Structure 1
Amino acid sequence: MTSITRRSAFGLAAAGAALALGGRPAFADQLADIRKAGKLRVAVAMGVPLFAFVDANVKPTGSDVETAKLIAKDLGVDFELVEITNAARVPTIQTRKADILVANLAITPERKQAVDFTVPYATLNIVVAGPEQVAIKEYKDLVGKRIAVTRATVNDQMVTQQAKGAEIVRFEDDATLITAVVSGQADIVSTQTAVLSAMNEKRSGAKLVTKFVQQELNLGIALPKGETALKGWLDDWIKAKFASGELNAVFKKFHDRDLPTDLVQRTV
């Protein structure tokens, strides 16, 4: 093998290794990179009631936004909000368009194959809701009915898998779903309780009621695969802020309920 050929082979091998690591060099340390840059880019799914929304002063707020700001503050770096949709949550982290994601993302086995998660930092309940007079007690009662969901959510997955025969209408984000329900395009939904509350606040007619709870979900902060230093720092941060009561205070301010007492001990 000539020296040129050897150099070419080495270059191809190095390129292959970089691609295998998502285009980043071996032994990259995103926590160190964040500190060096002096900035934390946090992806947040905006338009989600209570978690991430725009307030009366047209400023982003909500439990996810305020949690993300607190992380940046304690890291000693500037906070940069990366606004995304629900469907873009996992891809945004996979492509490293943000350093971390704080966006009411449930920890699931499928998602853990694509991104890493911290210990849970919050929870939410997903429910099926509809008009009081409509008889729905379980998934089989949705057969032949039209049900609205937000695309690429656990709600979407569960309804798709367990409500065979239902007509599923998918919307790109929670804000669009809320608009559809308020305008009368749909009156049976699978969503989270915070979104249901926002729907009922805006509906002029009869309120939608919870028919059954599909699941309580543990929410984790997502980050790229293999960033052990960053994950370790975030896990320690969540546990410390939970123990001090600060994390619960941020959550309760918006959701008017406490986080589960066993939250950070949950195995997910």
Structure 2
Amino acid sequence: MTYRIKPVLLAFSIMGAICGGLPLASANTLEQVMEQKLLRVAIDLNAPPYGMTDDKMTAIGSDVETANLIADSLGVKLQIVPTTQANRIPFLLTNKADVVISSLSITEERARVVDFTIPYADNKAVIAVSKDSPVKELKDLVGKTVVTARGTTNDQQVTKQAPPGTNIVRFENDATAITAITSGQSSIFATAPSIIGALNQKYPAKAMDIRIVMSSAKLAIGVAKNNPEIKEKMNELIRANLKNGKLNEIYKKYHQTDLPADVVALGG
């Protein structure tokens, strides 16, 4: 289905866990996590290269390795709670997960619902097109179809910035959006540079160029509000693993570039 959503409605879709009547539950405290020796982390495994599965159905990706690193640093076992982009925050609010590590950009709207740690990585929201596409600017999107993953920063930015007359088709995750691109449903993709890199590597015949950068955002761990002990501990572990270079190693492995200097500097 092709339609447009008003930016304010999209921005506050994450409020669905409250306004939609989902039963809110008290998030596990740091003490409970340590007692159970288990950290439940919500990760979208259909968002390469952040979260995905290999041919043996093993979870891999930069967010998966980051979650493993955080759990190891905490001295507990990791339990991945598979989610979708749209359900990342609702899973946290309903205590299905202790934290969210799932390419979650820090935004003002989300910060009204959850707390964020300091950044552990960054991400850009871009528009990529087929190499022969005439699209070079936002105004060129009029009358064309753009695909994106519902509930992501990419979705928010293209909804906010695309001119009237742009058809925006939203899929439940990046994997299904990629399928729409490779199957020819559209040749315009609002997503992240790393996802375009992964798409180009896997589907060279469908290779795309990044033509428009809509925004740049920092990625952080999402934590339930009023749970300061978890947030403080996550910040401590992020700083330590920025300082020792492990988070940069993970980022470079999956994104083929180093973390931005301003993120690395948070390690002290």
TM-score category of the 2 structures, normalised to the smaller one: 0.7 to 0.9
The structure-2 alpha-carbon separation of the partners of 1:22 and 1:172, relative to structure 1 and needing over 3 Å to count, comes to: closer
Q: How many residues align?
A: 243
Shift of 1:247: 1.1
Aligned 8 A contact 1:129 1:189 in 2: yes
Shift of 1:58: 2.3
TM-score (norm 2): 0.85
The 2-side partners of 1:264 and 1:226 are apart by 27
1:173 corresponding residue in structure 2: 173
Root-mean-square deviation (Å): 1.8
TM-score (norm 1): 0.85
2:246 is the alignment partner of 1:242: no
Aligned 8 A contact 1:93 1:224 in 2: yes
How do 1:102-117 and structure 2 match up within 5 A?
102-117=101-116
Q: Is the partner of 1:104 in helix, strand or coil?
A: coil
Give the letter for the 1:125 counterpart.
Answer: K
Name stretches of at least 5 consecutive residues in structure 1 with no aligned partner.
Answer: 1-20
Shift of 1:207: 2.2
Identity %: 41
In terms of mean alpha carbon deviation, does 184-193 or 257-266 score higher? Answer: 257-266
In terms of mean alpha carbon deviation, does 135-144 or 61-70 score higher? Answer: 135-144
2:185 corresponding residue in structure 1: 185
Aligned 8 A contact 2:84 2:173 in 1: yes
1:230 corresponding residue in structure 2: 230
Give CA-to-partner distance per residue, 1:199-229, whole Å, 9 cap, x none: 3234464522111111222001001111111
1:126 corresponding residue in structure 2: 125
How do 1:42-81 and structure 2 match up within 5 A?
42-81=41-80
Give the letter for the 1:165 counterpart.
Answer: G
The 1-side partners of 2:198 and 2:262 are apart by 28
The structure-2 alpha-carbon separation of the partners of 1:81 and 1:29, relative to structure 1 and needing over 3 Å to count, comes to: closer
Give CA-to-partner distance per residue, 1:120-158, whole Å, 9 cap, x none: 001122211112332223222211111111111111111
Aligned 8 A contact 1:120 1:264 in 2: no
Name stretches of at least 5 consecutive residues in structure 2 with no aligned partner.
Answer: 1-22
Give CA-to-partner distance per residue, 1:169-218, whole Å, 9 cap, x none: 11110110111111111111111112212332344645221111112220
Q: Which runs of 4+ in 1 moved over 3 A?
A: 21-24, 201-206
* Bigger-Rg structure (1/2): 1
Give the letter for the 2:218 counterpart.
Answer: N
The structure-2 alpha-carbon separation of the partners of 1:189 and 1:90, relative to structure 1 and needing over 3 Å to count, comes to: same
1:9 corresponding residue in structure 2: none
